[in-house]
Chains A and B, each alone.
Chain A
Amino acid sequence: MNGVLRRPMTFGILLLAALILLASTFTIVPETRQAVILRFEVPVRTVNAWRQGEEFGRTGAGLIARIPFIDRIVWVDKRVLDVDLDNQPVLSTDQLRLQVDAYARFRVIDPLRMVVTARSVDGVTSALQPLFSSALRAELGKVDFAVLLSPERGQVMDNIQKRLQNYASQYGVQIVDVRIKHADLPDGTPLESALERMRTARQQQALTIRAQGQRNAQIVRADAEAQAAKIYADAFGKDAQFYDFYRAMQSYRYTFGADGGSDQGRGGTSIILSPQNGYLREFQGR
C-alpha cells in the first residue's frame, strides 16, 4: 500500500489499464439480445442465438469472454419485432380500391446471416418493408374485396406470410405472423359511395317498414269489421222482419233526436202529420 501511495500515477494507470482490459474482455449478453462476434470483421461465432423451444435460463445468455480489441460484438435483438405498413393502396380483382394497414411480426433466428446481409436490425426492418408491401399487393390483388371481409382472409394472410417468408429467409428472419390491421375504403368517392349505399338502404328500409305498418293496421281494421258484420248477421238474421222494424225504430229515435240528443242538426224537427197517419189512427176515434 505504501508503494501505491508513493507512486499513485503509476498505480492509477495500471488500474485503469486493468479495468479497460477487463471491460473489453467480458461482456454481459442479456436474454433479449443475440450477439455476433466479429474478429477483424470476420464473423467467428454467435452467442445466445435463437433456438426453437428454448427455455429462459438455458439459453446462451450470460457473461462471455472475448479477445479484447480484436473481437467486435454486433448486437441483434432476440425479441419479436415488427414491421408496419401504413396506408397501402391495394386494388382488388373486382377493381375496388382499398387502403390497407398491415403489420408483420418477425424474429431474427439466424443473427449471423442477418448481420452479413443487413448489418443491423434497422437494416432488416427497412429491407423487409418493401418486400412486405409487394407481397401484400401481390396477394391482395388476387382476391375479391369480399374475400378480405370473409373468413377466408385468414388464408390470404397465410399466403402473404409464406411469400414474405421466402423473401425474409435470406436475412435470417422468421416471420411469426402477418396481419391486416385496417382494410378500409379510401377517403373520397369510394367511402362516400359506400355511405350513400348504406343511406339509401336505410331509407328503403324505413319506407318498407312504414308501408308494412299501414298494411297491417288496415288488415286489423278490416278483420274487425268483418267480425262485427258476422256478429250482426248472426244476431239479426234470426228474424229479418223484426230486425227491420226494430232497426227502423232505433233509426227514428236517432234521426229525430229522441235519445236526448241535442247534437247539432238532430232533433227540433217540424213534422206535419195527417190524421190518416198510422200513429194518429186513434185520433179519429174509430
Chain B
Amino acid sequence: MNILSGWRARGHILRNEPPKSPWGGKPTGGGDDSGKGGDDSGKGGGGGPRNPWSFPPEGRRSRPGSVSSLDEFLKRARGGGGGPGLPGGVSGRSLWLIGVGLIVALWVLFTSIWQIAPQERGVVTFFGRYAGVLEPGIHLTLPSPFNNVEKIDVQNIREETFPTSSSEENLMLTGDQNIINLAYQVRWNIGNPQDYVFQIRDPKETVRATAESVMRAVVADVDLDQALGRGRTVIEARVQQLMQETLDEYNSGVRIQGVAISKADPPNAVNDDFKAVSAAQQEAQSNLNNARAYAQQVIARAQGEAAQFDKIYEQYKLSPDVTKRRLYYETMEAVLAKSNKTIVEAPGVTPYLPLPEARRTIPDAQTPPAVQQGGAQ
C-alpha cells in the first residue's frame, strides 16, 4: 500500500513537473528525488517545494504560480531563453536524462548489492515470495521491487530475563502448593531465518510467553525443596527442552540456547522462617559436635584411668602386701605433709583447737561459724 500511496502523492506533483523516476515510492528513490528537486529549482526558479511529503503549512501551491514557473521552464527547455543558471551547451533534455540515469543507477546499487555479515543471513523474497537465504558474503539480487532482502542476525544470542526488573518478585506455585520466588534467563537465537521471518508475528513476545508458561509448568512438577536446591539443573534442562518443543510446534525458527535459574528463593515474606530452619540445622549440628567432643573426653578418661589401674594392679599382684602398704604410706605422706596436724595423746583430754584455718577465713564469714561449732564440740 505504501508504494501505491507514494505513487498517488507523486501523481499530484506530476501535474506540475515532469516525472523524474517511476520509482518514487521507494525510500531511497525518494531521498534522491529531493536532491534532484533541488537542482530543478535552481534551474527552473520555481518557488514551490518539490518534496511531495512536505507541503507548506498553508496547503497546496497556488496554481498560477506553478503555471508560470512551468511556462518558464518549458521556454528554457525548448532552448529559447538559456537562463542564468543553465550552461549554454547542455540542453535541458540531456540534463533530464542524466538525472534519471543517475537515480536509476543509485537505486540499482542500493537495492541489488547485498553484503551479509558472518552472523547474518539474508532472506530473499521475489515479489513477496520466498526465494532463498543468502549466506554471508557479497550477493547480487534483482533490484528492489523484484527482490527484497531482509537481513536477520541469526548468531546474536538474545537474552530474556524474568522478571524484567530485578527488584520484582516472580512468584510461582510448586507442586506441593508452596510459593517460590524464581528469577531466570532464557538465551535464544535464530535457527531458521525464513521461519523466523514468516511464521511468527511477534517472536520475542512468543519466546517470553512460552518461557513463562513452561517454567511454571515445570516448577509445578517439583516440590519446594527440589526447586530451592538440587533440582535446579533438572528444571533448567527440562524447561529448555519443553520450550524448544513448543516453539518448534509453532515453527518459530527460534533455537533456545539455554535456560539459567539465577535465583530460587522463598518469597520475601517468609524468608526469615526459612533462615530460621537453616539456623536450627546449624544449631543441631553444633550440639551434636559438642556431644561428640564430650564423648571423646569421657571415654579417653575412662581408658586412661583403666590403664593406670591395670598397670598398678599388675604390680600389686606380684607382691600384694608391699605394694599396698607402699601406696598407703605414700598417700598418707602426701596428704599429711600438706595438712596441719594435731596429735592428741591422752585419752579423755578435750583439746582446744586453734583452728588457724578458721581464723584465716573469718572475713569470709559464713564458713567459720560452722568450723567453730565443730571445734566447740
Give which listed residue, A19, A150, A274, contacts B11 with CB less than 8 A: A19
Given the interface pairs A12-B15, A23-B3, A217-B288, the reply to whether A198 lies near B266 with Cβ below 8 Å is yes
Q: What mask results when residues 171 to 209 of chain A are scored 1 for a CB within 8 Å of chain B, else 0?
A: 000001101111111000001001100110011011101
Q: For residue B332, which residues in chain A have a CB less than 8 angstroms away from its CB?
A: 252, 279
Q: For residue B152, which residues in chain A have a CB less than 8 angstroms away from its CB?
A: none
Decide if A249 is an interface residue (CB 8 Å cutoff).
yes
Decide if B331 is an interface residue (CB 8 Å cutoff).
yes
- The distance in angstroms between the C-alpha atoms of A110 and B94, with both chains bound, is 54
Q: For residue B251, which residues in chain A have a CB less than 8 angstroms away from its CB?
A: 80
8 Å CB contacts to A: which residues of B39-98? 70, 74, 77-78, 93
Given the interface pairs A194-B179, A270-B340, the reply to whether A206 lies near B220 with Cβ below 8 Å is no
- The distance in angstroms between the C-alpha atoms of A202 and B275, with both chains bound, is 9
Say yes or no: B212 contacts A181, CB within 8 Å: yes
- The distance in angstroms between the C-alpha atoms of A57 and B129, with both chains bound, is 6
Say yes or no: A213 contacts B288, CB within 8 Å: yes
8 Å CB contacts to A: which residues of B277-300? 277, 279-281, 283-285, 287-288, 290-292, 294-296, 298-299
- The distance in angstroms between the C-alpha atoms of A20 and B4, with both chains bound, is 8
Q: Which of A24-32, A127-135, A162-170 contacts B (4 or more CB under 8 A)?
A: A24-32
Given the interface pairs A103-B209, A146-B177, A195-B179, the reply to whether A19 lies near B15 with Cβ below 8 Å is no
Q: Specify the chain A residue showing the minimal Cβ separation from B78.
A: A5
Q: What mask results when residues 234 to 253 of chain A are scored 1 for a CB within 8 Å of chain B, else 0?
A: 11101100110110010011
Q: Which of B107-115, B120-128, B256-264 contacts A (4 or more CB under 8 A)?
A: B120-128
Decide if B213 is an interface residue (CB 8 Å cutoff).
yes
Number of interface residues, chain B, beta carbon within 8 A:
113
Given the interface pairs A177-B249, A185-B173, A218-B291, the reply to whether A272 lies near B339 with Cβ below 8 Å is no
Q: What mask results when residues 31 to 57 of chain A are scored 1 for a CB within 8 Å of chain B, else 0?
A: 110000000000000000000000011
Q: For residue A146, which residues in chain B have a CB less than 8 angstroms away from its CB?
A: 177
Q: Which of B28-36, B135-143, B200-208 contacts A (4 or more CB under 8 A)?
A: B200-208
Say yes or no: B201 contacts A81, CB within 8 Å: yes
B97 smallest CB distance to A (angstroms): 10
Q: Which of B153-161, B183-191, B351-359 contacts A (4 or more CB under 8 A)?
A: B351-359
Given the interface pairs A194-B179, A228-B302, the reply to whether A61 lies near B345 with Cβ below 8 Å is no
Say yes or no: B130 contacts A57, CB within 8 Å: yes
Give which listed residue, A57, A149, A209, A274, contacts B344 with CB less than 8 A: A274
Given the interface pairs A79-B200, A257-B338, A272-B342, the reply to whether A206 lies near B267 with Cβ below 8 Å is no
Q: Specify the chain A residue showing the minimal Cβ separation from B300.
A: A228
Q: For residue B337, which residues in chain A have a CB less than 8 angstroms away from its CB?
A: 258
Say yes or no: B296 contacts A103, CB within 8 Å: no
Given the interface pairs A29-B128, A228-B302, the reply to whether A272 lies near B351 with Cβ below 8 Å is yes
Report how many A-B pairs have Cβ atoms within 8 Å: 305
Q: Specify the chain A residue showing the minimal Cβ separation from B252.
A: A80
- The distance in angstroms between the C-alpha atoms of A29 and B148, with both chains bound, is 13
- The distance in angstroms between the C-alpha atoms of A62 and B131, with both chains bound, is 10
Say yes or no: B15 contacts A82, CB within 8 Å: no
Q: Specify the chain A residue showing the minimal Cβ separation from B303.
A: A231
Q: Specify the chain B residue showing the minimal Cβ separation from A208.
A: B280
Q: What mask results when residues 250 to 286 of chain A are scored 1 for a CB within 8 Å of chain B, else 0?
A: 0011001111000000011111111100011000000
Say yes or no: B77 contacts A228, CB within 8 Å: no
Q: For residue B171, which residues in chain A have a CB less than 8 angstroms away from its CB?
A: 184
* Given A145-B177, A213-B280: 11 more A-B contacts, CB < 8 Å: A1-B93, A29-B128, A56-B194, A179-B246, A180-B217, A184-B171, A195-B267, A210-B283, A223-B295, A253-B335, A257-B338
The 7 closest A-B pairs by CB, nearest first: A213-B284, A224-B295, A235-B306, A228-B302, A217-B291, A56-B130, A258-B334
Q: What are 29 A-to-B residue pairs whose CB atoms are below 8 Å?
A: A12-B19, A15-B19, A20-B8, A31-B128, A57-B130, A61-B130, A79-B201, A81-B201, A149-B175, A154-B217, A177-B249, A180-B213, A184-B173, A191-B179, A194-B178, A199-B273, A203-B276, A206-B277, A207-B280, A217-B287, A221-B295, A228-B298, A228-B301, A245-B327, A245-B328, A249-B327, A249-B328, A258-B335, A279-B329
